[in-house]
Chains A and B, each alone.
Chain A
Amino acid sequence: MSDVREALRAWVRDHNPDVPAGEPADGTRLIECRYLTSLQVADLLLFIEELRQAPVDPASLKPGVFASIDDICAAFF
């Protein structure tokens, strides 16, 4: 699971070049910090699907699943 967390952290940093060093932590609020926007979710979802090598049914998504790296791991891995 640590590899998944590190991969998610790298994805966030790749999409937000201004993220401070050490961020995002596992509990960082990605949406409130503007590290993740609505327009980036589809791309993140594809990345999650590739990491877990299985599709996600977008209709099954619950509110809050993208709130933090902890929440993403709990929901998808």
Chain B
Amino acid sequence: MEAPFPAPGAARALADTVRKLSASSRRGYQNPYEAIEWPDELDREQWFTSPELISLYGTPWWDDLSDAGRKVLSFWEAVNFYSLNIAGERFLMEGIAHRLYRPGWEEVAEYLHHFLDEENKHSVWFGTFCHRYAGKVYPDRKVAFPRDYAEGEEDFLFFAEVSVFEEIVDRYNLAMARDERLVDVARRINDNHHTEETRHLVFGRRIVAELWRQWSDRWPAEVVERIRTHIAGFVTATWRDYYNPDVYRDAGLADPYAVARGAWEATVARRDAITARALRPLVAAGVLG
């Protein structure tokens, strides 16, 4: 039997936030097919990803690339960033749709419709770029095994994962929306995504905090520990997607698996800095110490 989701008290506490976010979504409503102008073709020797955010930046492989090679890599890194967003948004949309209008959830259903609508638009943008300019979306390597959950645990983990994923992505979106070195279409995609994700981040922070408040005292210590371990594993799995050997292969680098492994080990500090910011809402809610 599914748990009430969330408890009536939590839904009411979210209601005011939901009303404000829904009003903001309606004011900023965009037609996804008009929001971005798509050039017929793009020269790949331009910046599509901010150099400092490229997975190889600061590594020996970066040092060995020519300026043109770095720009081509920035194109494939953009394709990967958009591909991992498509995979993340597919997971998100499935989860939101599954929870839409569940008992006790009616007060936030209004915003869930906007959430779904906006995530679908983002996938339209990401998918259009990937297909039009790269001819593909990189495949998602994640596989979900069935497992058992304590009451309320699956809902909490779903929103915690969404929050962590979006907080990390938004650091990239915000930086690249402001980066005038980037091709206009790449800036626009990042800017539009950031604008709408800002609302999603507010919603995610609120609902994670509410669900934690609702359930954490009722879970035995081993469930709380399991949740914390899961979140740590999710952070690692999320970052792994940013070091994709398919990207390095497409950019012409030799031994792409060794490059992925080496870059992962060489850029710990950069990941840790972004992760620390991304986890602040979970720390503030008391989920993480």
Report which A residues bind B (CB closer than 8 A): 31, 37-43, 45-46, 49-50, 53, 55, 57-59, 61, 66
Q: Are A45 and B141 closer than 8 Å at their CB atoms? A: yes
Given A39-B233, A40-B237; A46-B245 close (CB under 8 Å): yes
Do B139 and A46 touch (CB < 8 A)?
no
Contact A58 B143 (CB under 8 A): yes
Output the least CB separation between B138 and chain A (Å): 10
By DSSP majority rule, is chain B's interface helix, strand, loop, or mixed?
helix
29 interchain pairs (CB within 8 A)? A31-B145, A37-B233, A38-B143, A38-B144, A38-B145, A39-B233, A39-B236, A39-B237, A40-B233, A41-B142, A41-B143, A41-B145, A42-B142, A42-B143, A42-B240, A42-B241, A43-B237, A43-B240, A45-B141, A46-B240, A50-B258, A53-B257, A55-B245, A58-B139, A58-B140, A58-B142, A58-B143, A59-B139, A66-B143
B260 at the interface (CB under 8 A from A): yes
Residues of chain B at interface, number, CB under 8 A: 21
Contact A42 B141 (CB under 8 A): yes
Contacts of A40 in B (CB 8 A): 233, 237
Q: Which residues of B contact A61 (CB under 8 A)?
A: 143
**Residue ranges of B at the interface with A (Cβ–Cβ < 8 Å):** 139-145, 147, 230, 233-234, 236-237, 240-241, 245-246, 257-258, 260-261
Number of A-B contacts (CB under 8 A): 53
Instruction: Flag if B246 contacts A38 (CB, 8 Å).
Output: no
* Cβ contacts under 8 Å, B139 to chain A: 57-59
Which chain A positions have C-beta within 8 A of B236? 39, 43
Q: Once the chains bind, are A50 and B257 in contact (CB under 8 Å)?
A: yes
Residues of B within 8 A of A53 (CB): 257
Q: A37-B233, A55-B246 are in contact. List 12 more A-B contacts (CB 8 A).
A: A31-B145, A38-B142, A38-B147, A39-B236, A40-B237, A41-B142, A45-B141, A46-B240, A50-B258, A58-B141, A58-B143, A66-B143
CB distance from A32 to the nearest CB of B (A): 10
Is the Cβ of B260 less than 8 Å from the Cβ of A46? Answer: yes
How distant is A46 from chain B, measured CB to nearest CB, in Å? 7
Contacts A46-B257, A49-B245; is A41 near B141 (CB within 8 Å)?
Answer: yes
Chain A residues with CB under 8 Å of B147's CB are 38
- CB nearest neighbor in B for A47: B257
Q: Given the complex of chains A and B, what is the CA–CA distance between A31 and B146 in angstroms?
A: 10
